[in-house]
Amino acid sequence: MLKISRKGQDMPESPIRKLVPFAEEARKRGVKIFPLNIGQPDIETPAVALNAVKNFEKKVIEYSHSAGMQSLREKLVKYYKTVNIDLSFDEIIVGAGASEALLFAFQSIMDPDDEVIIPEPFYANYNGFATNAGIRVRPIFSSIETGFALPPIEEFEKNITGKTKAILVCNPNNPTGYLYSKEEMELLRDIVKKHNLWLIADEVYREFTYDGETHYSAMYLEGIEQNVILIDSVSKRYSACGARLGWLASKNKNLISTALKFAQARLSPPTYGQVMAEAAVDTPDEYFVNVKAEYLKRRDAVVEGINNIEGAFCPNPEGAFYIVAKLPIDDSDIFCQWLLEDFSFENQTVMLAPASGFYSTPGKGKDEVRISYVLNVDDLKSSIKVLEEALKVYPGRK
């Protein structure tokens, strides 16, 4: 029998996508599904970005520079100036999504079996990227009871070993929506500086902050300018997930030159994604005002709805468009599959992401789910009603 690689066997399934076959079968039965499992906004991509692709006039779709079109990178520099981040175009490497950019970062700074510390729960694919790069994730537990605030810095200290090379944070956070404060980011700066680590900051949700709060970028941290690797993307900012266009940025020239070698090995980023991204930077500010207002209404509808369900709880997040909710259930993986296989209310059900897949520590998140509030308010209210009815009859209710 032909063998599959150990890496292939170790590669984790996506907790967000592994339930798709069950959803497909439910749809065949005529059940309407409210998809709250994936961060795919229903917000329209800005017209200026779509028009740039429609009006693309070149007769040959050719390779770009491996680091990305210079015109795009120069446009990104202008964007960053608007959020008080000073970069030059040659400090940016464009990838096929933030996913590829993060993989370039992992491969550039860590050897096999090196370790990256990540507060959990965290974006599930970080586990996959780590497996791909041959490195290990060392999770630091953050609790729903604290709203998923940064764990005590002592926990980071206890988990730093000779193999530790980096700390990775997502801010605002996926899956929790938690927004790290300036003070929390400065605590991370201090430990990064003390132990000479890299700080990888996934800031793809930068624009989405609520309740008067503002985002504090890792690029603002003084004293570790050479340690910071910024990961960013057009996917969420401009509701353009399918463009597959992201990038990494750093002041560290050695990091950039190393990441470029990985970028060269895959030749170049996608042309149409770059054309769209370059134009998207010109999106009017009004777009974000409207989008944030819409997400705020959606967040409030979900948080209120969940906390009105007997036995359920979720914090009130200040960023991104996700919440993690604690439910009175025995096992979130079983529950989320049951919703699709065995349950419907008025011929409707909900598709959720089991939060167990967002933890690296076995056994964590078994009574939690991630909800993406990417549907309109009416659909979100309907989906919460369906969830409430499901919990009344779920055989594994606690």
pLDDT (tens digit per residue) in 248-268:
999 999 999 999 999 999 999
Mean residue pLDDT across the chain = 96
The confidence band for 105, taking pLDDT boundaries of 50, 70 and 90, is very high
Q: Sort 58 into a burial class: Cβ within 10 Å, 0-12 / 13-18 / 19+.
A: exposed
Mean pLDDT in residue range 194-221: 97
- The model's confidence at residue 48, banded by pLDDT at 50, 70 and 90, is very high
Q: Helices in 29-151 by DSSP H: which ranges?
A: 47-54, 70-82, 97-109, 125-133
As a whole number, mean pLDDT of residues 59-86 equals: 97
The Cα–Cα gap between 67 and 263 comes to: 7
H helices then E strands: how many in the chain? 13, 12
Q: Is the dihedral of CA 26, 27, 29, 33 positive or negative?
A: positive
Ranges of beta strands (E only) in the chain are 32-35, 92-95, 115-120, 136-141, 164-170, 198-202, 228-233, 246-249, 322-326, 348-351, 353-354, 368-372
CATH dotted code for 6-44+286-393:
3.90.1150.10
Rounded CA-CA distance 352/386 in Å is 12
pLDDT at residue 365, rounded to an integer: 95
Residue 40: which pLDDT band, with cuts at 50, 70 and 90? confident
Is the pLDDT assigned to residue 366 strictly greater than 80?
yes
Asked if the model's pLDDT at residue 84 lies above 90, the reply is yes
Q: Which pLDDT belongs to residue 39?
A: 86
> pLDDT value at position 14?
79
Does the pLDDT value for residue 119 go beyond 90?
Answer: yes
Q: From residue 367, how far is each of 89, 289, 389, 398 by CA, in Å?
A: 45, 35, 17, 9
> Is a pLDDT exceeding 80 seen at residue 15?
no
The domain segmentation of the chain, as residue ranges, is: 6-44+286-393, 47-280
Query: Lowest-pLDDT range, 40-44, 290-294, 309-313?
Result: 40-44
16 pLDDT above the threshold of 80: no
Percent of the chain with pLDDT over 90: 96
* Residue 379, helix vs strand vs coil: helix
Question: Is 365 within 8 Å of 127 (Cβ atoms)?
Answer: no
Mean pLDDT calculated for residue range 151-179: 97
Global pTM? 0.96
- Cβ partners under 8 Å of residue 158, min gap 6: none
Q: Is CATH 3.40.190.10 correct for 47-280?
A: no
The residue type at 131: T
φ/ψ of residue 179, rounded to 5: -110, 115
